[in-house]
């Protein structure tokens, strides 16, 4: 099942208590204080895992607690700190505090982590409180409690281009025509119920990722049809392709349909309206198609690029794809749009610079890499392909450097970690 939301409770482990104890030795009747410190509680950490596709696991289990630290003991024995509890989430998961709704982290890099509930510090034992004035303190600190909070997890897929349009417009047909994806296609509305991703490969150098989502209808912002929630999966895309049916419809209907979809987009987020939007006028093979194309060119052509296509017959597709490639390359920023507002409450841990070996190919990822090269999402064919190209071009050392690594950094190759020395 595809689940793209979850609400979970996380709690860090409490710190262990410090101990109150005194040395007992044979000929020393009153030894000094010897209570050890308590251990630190485990933290709950979320980690982006490229092997995961949905948040389904968090529907079966909603409560996660890290273990507590051990208490300190006599003879200055410190309690053991508890291990962290690492929960894996899909790449593209936005983490919010459920109470404040603030974004704590947007986990877009494989291996990226965020501490969502820190474990409590261990309490100090009485040995730490001895002073010349009080050589036998009879008190110790209690461990601090672990942090706790409710989190909202929301998966927002990573793609370059998002397909929007009314149900039945031919979005899935287009995706299956331009990529290896095989979404369900049928002659009734709401065939697509969960998003599909496909990789478009134009040639060795050019590829991009397309997201196909369920159709929108008038009133979707009030919950009509499947509502607007699937728009979250095109929030990170840089370009929208509006699949607009032109066959077997009147001019007025075509124009009205175009407006309805944009109206719904604006209800979701006005930002989506600012994205470059390209019109794929679809089903030109059907009666009325060509005439309607001329009509929308006249009425919308000054604001939008319009490509007449037949997704079914495969007509007019190439020019659209090349245009999208050029448009993507011309945009100032590349790669996924990262969502953030407040990061200060939690600590986001950047992934270590990672090189993964797949056969003879090395893949590099890291926070500072040109973003396009940064996504080592193995399920994301396009990202893998880009990395392969970049590595061929740059060589491993240069790629490491671009990934933000410095000599002396810890580097991972496959499962092994080592220090990078020049």
Ligand X SMILES: Nc1nc2c(ncn2[C@@H]2O[C@H](COP(=O)(O)OP(=O)(O)OP(=O)(O)O)[C@@H](O)[C@H]2O)c(=O)[nH]1
* In the complex, least distance from residue 377 CB atom to ligand X, rounded to whole angstroms: 24
What would you report as the CA-atom Rg of the chain, rounded to the nearest whole angstrom? Answer: 28
- Among 260, 312, 328, 394, which residue sits at the site for ligand X (rule: CB under 6 A)? 312
Report the side by side order of strands in the sheet with 410-413. Answer: 361-365, 353-358, 410-413, 416-419
CB atoms closer than 10 angstroms to residue 117: 25
Cα–Cα nearest to 48, from 88, 103, 3: 88
- Of residues 192 and 277, the one with the C-beta less far from Mg ion: 192
Residues near Mg ion (CB under 5 A), total:
4
* 347 contributes a contact to ligand X by CB under 6 A: no
139 contact choice in ligand X, Mg ion, none (CB below 5 to 8 Å, kind-dependent): none
* 112 contributes a contact to Mg ion by CB under 5 A: no
- Among 76, 126, 192, 376, which residue sits at the site for ligand X (rule: CB under 6 A)? 192
* 286 contributes a contact to ligand X by CB under 6 A: yes
Which positions from 192 through 211 interact with Mg ion, judged by CB under 5 A? Answer: 192
Q: Which residues are CB-neighbours of 251 under 8 A, at least 6 positions away?
A: 291, 292, 295
- Among 97, 253, 263, 285, which residue sits at the site for ligand X (rule: CB under 6 A)? 285
- Of residues 24 and 313, the one with the C-beta less far from Mg ion: 313
173 contact choice in ligand X, Mg ion, none (CB below 5 to 8 Å, kind-dependent): ligand X
Q: Alpha-carbon distance 117 to 43, whole Å?
A: 6
* 172 contributes a contact to Mg ion by CB under 5 A: yes
Q: Is 390 annotated as a binding residue?
A: no
Q: Is 285 annotated as a binding residue?
A: yes
Cα–Cα nearest to 96, from 116, 112, 113: 116
- Among 191, 299, 347, 388, which residue sits at the site for ligand X (rule: CB under 6 A)? 191
246 contact choice in ligand X, Mg ion, none (CB below 5 to 8 Å, kind-dependent): none
Contact pattern from residue 299 through residue 328 relative to Mg ion, giving x for each residue in contact according to CB under 5 A and a dash for the rest: ------------------------------
- How do 113-117 and 348-349 pair as beta strands? antiparallel
- Of residues 187 and 203, the one with the C-beta less far from ligand X: 187
* 184 close to 34: Cβ distance less than 8 angstroms: no
* 31 close to 22: Cβ distance less than 8 angstroms: yes
CB atoms closer than 10 angstroms to residue 2: 12
* 277 contributes a contact to ligand X by CB under 6 A: no
Fill in the DSSP letter of residue 74: T
* In the complex, least distance from residue 226 CB atom to ligand X, rounded to whole angstroms: 9
CA distances from residue 64 to 52, 101, 120, 402 in whole angstroms, order as listed: 19, 20, 15, 37
Piece of the chain touching ligand X by CB under 6 A; list 38-46, 183-191, 229-237, 346-354: 183-191
Q: Alpha-carbon distance 249 to 245, whole Å?
A: 8
- How do 277-282 and 305-308 pair as beta strands? parallel
Cα–Cα nearest to 332, from 238, 269, 404, 232: 238
Interface with ligand X (CB under 6 A): 165, 167-173, 185-187, 189-192, 214-215, 247, 282-283, 285-286, 310-312
Q: Which residues belong to the annotated binding site for Mg(2+)? A: 172, 192
Interface with Mg ion (CB under 5 A): 171-172, 191-192
Q: Which residues belong to the annotated binding site for GTP? A: 165-172, 190-194, 212-215, 282-285, 310-312
């Amino acid at each position: 099942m595809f689940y793209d939301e979850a609400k979970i409770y996380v709690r860090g482990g409490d710190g262990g208590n410090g101990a109150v104890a005194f040395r007992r030795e044979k000929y020393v009747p009153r030894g000094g204080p010897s209570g050890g410190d308590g251990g630190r509680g485990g933290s709950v950490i979320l980690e982006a895992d490229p092997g995961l596709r949905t948040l389904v696991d968090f529907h079966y289990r909603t409560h996660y607690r890290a273990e507590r630290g051990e208490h300190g003991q006599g003879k200055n024995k410190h309690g053991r700190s508890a291990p962290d509890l690492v929960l894996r989430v899909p790449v593209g998961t936005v983490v919010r505090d459920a109470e404040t709704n603030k974004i704590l982290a947007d986990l877009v890099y494989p291996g990226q982590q965020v501490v969502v509930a820190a474990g409590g510090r261990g309490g100090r034992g009485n040995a730490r409180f001895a002073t010349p004035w009080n050589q036998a303190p009879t008190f110790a600190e209690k461990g601090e409690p672990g942090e706790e909070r409710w989190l909202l997890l929301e998966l927002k897929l990573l793609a370059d281009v998002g397909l929007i349009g009314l149900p039945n417009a031919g979005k899935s047909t287009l995706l299956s025509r331009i990529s290896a994806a095989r979404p369900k296609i049928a002659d009734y509305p709401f065939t697509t119920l969960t998003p599909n991703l496909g990789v478009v490969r134009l040639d060795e150098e050019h590829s991009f990722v397309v997201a196909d989502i369920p159709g929108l209808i008038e009133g979707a912002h009030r919950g009509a049809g499947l509502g607007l929630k699937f728009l979250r999966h095109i929030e990170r895309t840089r370009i929208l392709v509006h699949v607009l049916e032109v066959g077997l419809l009147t001019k007025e209907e075509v124009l009205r349909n175009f407006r309805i979809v944009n109206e719904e987009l604006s209800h979701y987020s006005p930002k989506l309206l600012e994205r470059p939007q390209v019109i794929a006028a679809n089903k030109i093979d059907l009666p009325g198609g060509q005439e309607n194309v001329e009509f929308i060119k006249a009425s919308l052509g000054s604001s939008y690029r319009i490509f007449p296509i037949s997704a079914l017959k495969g007509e007019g597709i190439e020019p659209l794809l090349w245009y999208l490639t050029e448009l993507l390359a011309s945009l100032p920023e590349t790669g996924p749009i990262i969502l953030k507002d407040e990061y200060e409450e939690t600590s986001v841990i950047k992934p270590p610079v990672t090189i993964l070996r797949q056969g003879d190919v090395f893949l590099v990822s890291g926070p500072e890499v040109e973003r396009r090269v940064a996504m080592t999402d193995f399920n994301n064919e396009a990202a893998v392909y880009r990395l392969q190209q970049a590595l061929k071009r740059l060589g491993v050392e240069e790629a490491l450097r671009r990934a933000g690594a410095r000599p002396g950094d810890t580097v991972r190759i496959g499962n092994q970690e080592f220090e990078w020395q020049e």
